[in-house]
Structure 1
Amino acid sequence: MSTTQSDRLRALLEPLVSAEGLDLEDIEVSRAGRRRMLRIVVDSDEGVELDTCAELSRAVSEKLDETDVMGEDEYVLEVSSPGADRPLSEHRHYVRATGRLVKLQLHADGAASELIARILTVDDEGLDLEVPGVKGRKPTARRVAFADIAKARVEIEFSRKDKKEEEA
């Protein structure tokens, strides 16, 4: 996708997405056989419901039909929320992952290392983490600066308690 098309799509779709109280995370145009696929990824602090994706999909489709930003070729439109395994790259991603277990690839002092820990708090400089104890040891606290994070991704926890369960 050309930068011009990407910029035009973002400028066209950002107001529609924002009007729904969502963040436009990604726009991707790719080939799927003879057709093109337009994939729009949206998110919010509360997550995204299927009905919201459907409503936004209809609004985006109408808006795209009014313009020539996608050209004359056929395309398939997909509006979705980010998957559980998407990378954490923006400050808001870390804030949304507070309380979750994350896998961090760090690059401090020229050496690469990996860390799995739970995000306790997020501020402008970095993360306060709880590193799980190993072999019966207690968890330990650790501070990681954003500048030291090469990659980050939420770890899937099948036995994790939901926030609502913890509050009850």
Structure 2
Amino acid sequence: MLMAILVMVGLAAFFGALLGYAAIKFKVEGDPITDQIDQLLPQTQCGQCSYPGCRPYAEAIAKGEIGINHCPPGGDSTIQALADLLDVEPLPLDEEAGEHSDVPLVAIIREETCIGCTLCIQACPVDAIVGAAKLMHTVIADECTGCELCLPPCPVDCIDMIPVPQSTDNWVWPEPATLGKIPIKIEVKA
């Protein structure tokens, strides 16, 4: 009788330790659907969706607080990907959020016109504009996401948005529209 009790206590301790280890080892941080949504967003951190970045927007979508159509940098392709992930109907891009540009844009500052007011620096969500007060500013082109948030605060309109020049460094082969939609038949002959 005593041996049976000791065996049961030993088994309970073993399985308890095993479950405790598994709970720590396989712990899921955060919400997995939020992570999946965040991976589909363009990561421009522009704030055009009315959230301070892509992660807060992804959290709001996961909670159902906002629709999937508030991301101008992502455009229709991101809206479609989010609709497929969440199994909802794709919606057209919300006009209040802004316009989507198929051509990537980058900001440039006309140096002869810039007065050094620093308003564009404060508006840039990714710190792509550098300069000092009362001195000319410039844009770090590799950091600029083309969100156009620096345009409205500029009092002298010295910022222009230009298309990013195509080069072998930034060219991406376009994905075929029919990828994943072609049924594949495999015949097995006996």
TM-score (norm 2): 0.29
Higher strand residue share: 1
TM-score (norm. length: structure 1): 0.32
